[in-house]
Structures are given as structure tokens and as C-alpha cells.
Structure 1
């Protein structure tokens, strides 16, 4: 039972970081993200974002590029290799804590810099995702021309798009293509 959300926060943060740095702020003409944008990006995932510093931004961008490799993996073996490469770069010192949210496990040692906490939680989230679901519930969006990634930890595990908007566009395009094909075959 996942009572503290670290697993889902790590997965969600991984998806957010990959999409933020490798899609939204990728390319030479993209403006460099600010520390305020990084704080806003990671706040929903239970990070103590007030500890983020401007010096962490390029380090997190490089980490996001490494995380992306797990989502792009062609098979489970490649994803595991990439996940293990992420795990090899972190130091985990799990400990039980209770600071008002009930007893739970923290992966990061006390007092580590923000960037290390982000790396530890995202690597552990990805490792748990792979261990629990393999690669069947994560990847690059199935919509044409979309490069964003997704991870599906829902009960049914059917997600293949980064967002409802991409899923809707793909469904509408498929519907129109079927309609054109049906209309074209009737004229023969």
C-alpha cells in the first residue's frame, strides 16, 4: 500500500521534468527556465521547493534528459538498464519519519541538497514503476507529432497519451479517417 505518495510523486515528477526540459524548454530558441518555474513545476509532487536554487536548474535539466531514456526504451531490458543507470547515480539512505503526516519512509538522507532529493525521488519512482508495471504503462505519447511522455499508474492502465487533449485529437482524427474510408468505399 502506497500511503505517503512518494512512489507516485516520484513518477509524476519524472514525467513533469522530462516534458518540461526535453519538450517544453528544448531547443536553442527556448528560454532558459527560471528557478521560480522549477519550483512551480515540482511543488505538486511534495518537494520542499523553497530549497531549489538557480544552480540546480541545469543539473535537473540534465537529469530530465536521462529520465527520458526510460520512457523511450524499446523494451523492458533497455528500460531496466536505463533505470539501473539512474539508480547508480543516487545515494539512498531510507529512514522512517513522522512530521505530521504519519509514519512514512524518506528515501533521501536528511539535509541533502534539493537537486539530490529530486533525483533520488524520481529515480526511486521510476524504479518502482518499472518493477510494478514494466514498460506497458509508460512511454512517449501516441499522438502524431507529440514528444511528451506519460506514466499510467491507474487501475486500468490503458493510457497511451500524455494528456486528454492529445487523446481527443487522436480519436477525432481516427474517426474522420474511418468516415473518409467508409465514404470512399461506398463510391466504388
Structure 2
């Protein structure tokens, strides 16, 4: 990420977790098409897809109640992104405070599981900062971590880096880590779609 805005690395990962959950679990529009919120077995699949590449603590079998918990968290986190997009930091902060309260977020140092190249336990594994209790469920812990990352973003100098896609018929969210805060789209697909639409409009107008 040379030349880009650098959130703390752990916070940056958690913000991407938040983006993945919001985009996977909340209803709206995505890349020009309606995007219904997943339910039932589809919700379980959507949660697994959203966090499997980023959260090593994903349980082997995800409880439906935990998936529903994460869907509720995602709905609240969407409100944070939308509020910042709309220039309403007061609503964003109030929503984040609610998430912090409801998830029981609090900082805690825990030893990370550490193994050598052969998979054998090593002595004195390093301490890592977490934002939830050691015995919290996956959903509660993940929600608390994402809420804390959003709090650090909204309450810091990079609050304006939380965005909602500017493309027509898309409301997926993103975190802007570009150097000049120029990002406007959730994906390259939406950026290209917008450029193509502008080109067609100019061509139709004889430009």
C-alpha cells in the first residue's frame, strides 16, 4: 500500500471486514441491479463468503442465530457509511456508539496462537490487540471489532474515507485508501460502467 493512506494495519483489516459484511448482507443495489438481502441458507453462505478470506476465526459450522446477528450489525454499519457519505457525522457517531454499546466492545490483549513451520506450538506467542472478550461468540466478537474500527475512523482524521458507490444503481460501500481521497466507486466494474454511460451520453449528444 505504498503511497496510500495508511490506517493502522489491524484497523484497516477490520474496516475491510465491515465493508464485506455490509456489501454481502444488506439490501439495495449492486452494479446496476437490485440486491436483495440474503435469508436462511443464503444468509449463512453470504456470511461465510464475506469473512472466510479475512477472518481466520470463522467457526467450522456457523450458527444461524450468529448469521442473523451479523446481518443486524451489517444494517447498522451501512447507516454509518451512508451518514458519512451524506456529510452527517453526528448520525454516524451516534450509530457507532450504539454498535459499541450493543456489541460490548472493549480493548483486550490476548496471546495469538503460534506454531512453527511444522505446526508445533511455540513458546511465548506474541500478544495481539482484540476488541472483544475472549469468550464472546464469533458474531459478537466480529461485530465488536468492526464497530471499534468504524469508531476509530469516524472519530479520526480519516472519517471522510468511508464511502458509498457513486455509480448509478449501486449503493455498495468502500473504504478509500487512495493518496488523494479520489475514490468514488465500490469496484472497477462500477467505475467502468459509469465511464461507458458517460461516453454513450456524449456520443448521443453529438459530443
1:175, 1:19 → 2: CA distance?
A: 28
Cα deviation, residue 45, structure 1: 2.3
What do the CA deviations read for 1:96-154 (whole angstroms, capped 9, x no partner)? 23423743311111111111111111101111221234542223210001121112134
Segment of structure 1 superposing worse, 120-129 or 153-162: 153-162
Structure 2: state its 5+ residue gaps: 1-5, 115-124
Partners of 2:126 and 2:199 in 1: CA distance: 49
Alpha-carbon contact 1:94-1:108 (below 8 Å) kept:
yes
Q: Which residue of the partner structure matches residue 91 of structure 2? A: 78
Give the unaligned 5+ runs of structure 1.
none
Which of residues 138, 142, 146 in structure 1 aligns to 2:162? 138
Alignment of 1:21-170 (within 5 A): 21-23=25-27, 26=36, 32=40, 33-50=42-59, 52-73=62-83, 74=86, 75-99=88-112, 100=114, 102-170=126-194
Contact 1:79 1:135 in 2 (8 A): no
Q: What is the TM-score with the length of structure 2 in the denominator?
A: 0.75
Q: CA deviation at 1:2?
A: 5.9
2:174 touches 2:186 (CA, 8 Å); kept in 1? yes
SS of the aligned residue for 2:103 comes to: coil
TM-score (norm: length of structure 1): 0.81
Q: CA 1:2–1:57 in 2, change beyond 3 Å: closer, same or farther?
A: same
Q: Are positions 1:8 and 2:12 aligned together?
A: yes
**CA distance in 1 between partners of 2:177 and 2:74 (Å):** 20
Is the 1:6–1:121 Cα contact (8 Å) retained in structure 2?
A: no
Q: Cα RMSD (Å) of the superposition? A: 2.5
Q: CA deviation at 1:47?
A: 4.3
Moved over 6 A (4+): none
- Cα deviation, residue 177, structure 1: 2.3
Q: Please name the residue that 1:18 is paired with.
A: 22
